[in-house]
């Protein structure tokens, strides 16, 4: 049972375009929703995170949109660059569990 469903599995975007990755969750107890970026041969690194009391959070070119009623959240990468080419994971956690439940990942390729 996958508690966090992520789509698409892969994404190709032109340089300067907008990359959008979507996630949906089942467990309404989740209260923390981070996005992680992973380059080949490396561990995931925190990109941006949001809590359900806000509907949007922006950090530079990266924005999380959160829809609590639909149980969905998404990552938007504005002005996508070739250096953004990586695998992106959404995740969620519940209070007290102290560990993350991950989506299946999206491999993003930004073409120059």
**Interface positions with other proteins (CB under 8 A):** 6, 9, 32, 34, 41-46, 49, 51, 89, 93, 97-105
Q: Decide whether 14 or 55 has the Cβ nearer to other proteins.
A: 55
Nearest CA among 51, 72, 54, 50 for reference residue 5: 72
Distance CA 105, CA 37 (A): 9
Q: Decide whether 9 or 69 has the Cβ nearer to other proteins.
A: 9
Q: Decide whether 84 or 89 has the Cβ nearer to other proteins.
A: 89
Task: Supply the minimum distance, in Å, between the C-beta of residue 93 and other proteins.
Answer: 8
**Cβ(20)–Cβ(8) under 8 Å?**
no
Task: Supply the minimum distance, in Å, between the C-beta of residue 41 and other proteins.
Answer: 8
Q: Which residues pair with 12 in a beta bridge?
A: 109
Task: Supply the minimum distance, in Å, between the C-beta of residue 19 and other proteins.
Answer: 18
Q: What angle is formed at CA 6 by the lines to CA 43 and CA 47, rounded to 5 degrees? A: 40
């Amino acid at each position: 049972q996958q508690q966090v469903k992520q789509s698409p599995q892969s994404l190709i975007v032109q340089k300067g375009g907008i990359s959008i990755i979507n996630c949906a969750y089942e467990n309404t107890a989740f209260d923390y929703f981070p996005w992680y970026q992973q380059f080949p041969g490396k561990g995931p690194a925190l990109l941006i995170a949001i809590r359900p009391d806000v509907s949007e959070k922006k950090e530079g070119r990266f924005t999380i949109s959160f829809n609590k009623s639909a149980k969905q959240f998404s990552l938007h990468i504005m002005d996508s660059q070739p250096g953004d080419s990586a695998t992106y994971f959404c995740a969620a956690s519940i209070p007290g569990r102290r560990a993350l439940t991950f989506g299946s990942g999206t491999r993003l390729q930004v073409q120059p």
